[in-house]
Amino acid sequence: MGQAAMATRIDTASGSGLSPAPELCWFEEVCKEDVALVGGKCSSLGELINAGVRVPPGFALTTHGFARFMRDAGVSGEIPGLLKGCGHDDLEQLESASKTVREMIEEHSFSWEMEDAIAEYYRKLSVRCMVPAVPVAVRSSATAEDLPGASFAGQQDTYLWIRGVDDVLLHARRCISSLFTARAIAYRNRMGFPHEDVALSVGFQKMANAYTAGVMFTCNPSNGDRSVIAIDSNFGFGESVVSGEVTPDHFMVNKVTLDILERTICTKECTYTVDLKTQKSVKCETPFERQDVQSIIDDEIVELARMGKVIEKHYGRQMDIEWAVDKDLPAGGNIFILQARPETVWSEKREKESAVAGKASSAMDFILSSLLTGKKVS
């Protein structure tokens, strides 16, 4: 962990003989090698930050913090017995075991030391974001999400628009307890994965209160052209763009010069925003006078394209990226990457074509890729 000295260690006398380990840390203190400490999601966010990419700030309760809480709650020693004999297809038995374990977890408070530590991290996050009681997403980051031959991703809960220390602590426990939903128990049983071997980290990330949001591809998604970056946008959260509910504004940017080559402004009849009463994303009709207005300014388009190049260079392939412009933060530091994953359609097609063509095209592909991502060709 690159800056482990900054992480919080709550010194506890455990019988394991293990040296003190960080129980809380900032995202920027971890990278992709820290999956065992903060799980797949949080380590990926740290990797992006350390690659120079701006992501919504946040912190994590590490797997050490998780383990301590489970010991304090008295759950660790009881789980094997409670889940013994649960098959993967007996729904009634699974639901009963899940209910018992989840209630044990959710009804047990964090130790006062850990409560104070989480509260202090949350306070500092609010200060960093310049938002009192900053709204956060509280989400699981499991260490087993990306194991070969098994997919644990999406089996734990995520809670959005959580505000205030008490609610943050409550939803952290709910997030931990979701490791023992009936579905998760059944899946681990079916895969033969011991329940006691699954560790969980909990991420607390500033909600991107998006003024505008959308998607970006570091190639042309229509024809695979690697010399351009394609950006789609709409007002509000990116949900309307990702779901295809609107025809978004569309921009094509030269990957080398960052010049905007194409600009298509569409009529955007709906948008998504947050309902502060329900703490949920809601669909709204876009005011008529804004429907044909460009949803992202040119400077933001150029900055997004620059960030796309950085991500593509870091991962060494074309990327599919979700982004947002946060209206709670000042201009110049409020464009955030929410998710980055490999683009698959054209990348896989190109790999197949290269295999057929042989190595003759490899040198030219390398030169072209280096030029577009800014690598030095030696």
Q: What pLDDT is stored for residue 60 in this prediction? A: 97
- What are the two backbone dihedrals, phi and then psi, of residue 236, each rounded to the nearest 5 degrees? 80, -160
Q: What pLDDT is stored for residue 130 in this prediction? A: 86
Q: Distance between CA atoms of 36 and 43, rounded to whole angstroms?
A: 9
CB within 8 Å of 15: residues ≥ 6 apart: none
Q: What pLDDT is stored for residue 340 in this prediction? A: 81
Range among 48-52, 306-310, 356-360 with highest mean pLDDT value: 306-310
Q: Give ∠ CA 55-202-173 in degrees, rounded to 5.
A: 140
CB within 8 Å of 199: residues ≥ 6 apart: 36, 39, 63, 66, 67, 142, 143, 144
Q: Distance between CA atoms of 172 and 58, rounded to whole angstroms?
A: 14
pLDDT per position as a tens digit, 206-255: 988 899 999 999 999 999 999 999 999 999 998 899 889 999 999 999 99
Q: Distance between CA atoms of 129 and 208, rounded to whole angstroms?
A: 11
Residue ranges per structural domain of the chain: 4-206, 210-373
Q: What pLDDT is stored for residue 3 in this prediction? A: 44
Tell me, what amino acid is at 258?
Answer: L
pLDDT per position as a tens digit, 165-205: 999 999 999 999 988 888 887 877 777 776 677 788 999 99
pLDDT band at residue 375 under the 50/70/90 scheme: low
- Say if residue 360's pLDDT is above 90: no
Does 139 or 15 have the greater pLDDT score?
A: 139
Instruction: From 234, 242, 300, select the one nearest 268 (Cα to Cα).
Output: 234
Q: Which CATH number fits domain 4-206: 3.30.1490.20, 3.20.20.70, 3.10.450.50, 3.30.530.20?
A: 3.30.1490.20
Q: What is the DSSP letter of 323?
A: E
% residues pLDDT > 90 (the chain) = 47
- CATH superfamily for 210-373 is ATP-grasp fold, B domain (3.30.470.20)
Instruction: From 236, 212, 370, select the one nearest 303 (Cα to Cα).
Output: 212
Q: What pLDDT is stored for residue 373 in this prediction? A: 54
Q: What pLDDT is stored for residue 303 in this prediction? A: 95
Q: What pLDDT is stored for residue 5 in this prediction? A: 38
Q: What pLDDT is stored for residue 79 in this prediction? A: 75
Taking all residues of the chain, what is their mean pLDDT, rounded to a whole number? Answer: 82
Domains 4-206 and 210-373 alike in fold: no
Q: What pLDDT is stored for residue 67 in this prediction? A: 92
Rounded mean pLDDT of 46-64?
93
Q: What pLDDT is stored for residue 169 in this prediction? A: 97
Q: What pLDDT is stored for residue 188 in this prediction? A: 77
pLDDT band at residue 89 under the 50/70/90 scheme: low
Residue pair 157/174 in contact (Cβ under 8 Å)? The answer is yes
Of 23-32, 148-157, 329-338, 349-358, the range with the lowest mean pLDDT is: 148-157
Does 374 or 57 have the greater pLDDT score?
A: 57
- Partners of 335 in the β-ladder: 325
Residue pair 229/253 in contact (Cβ under 8 Å)? The answer is yes
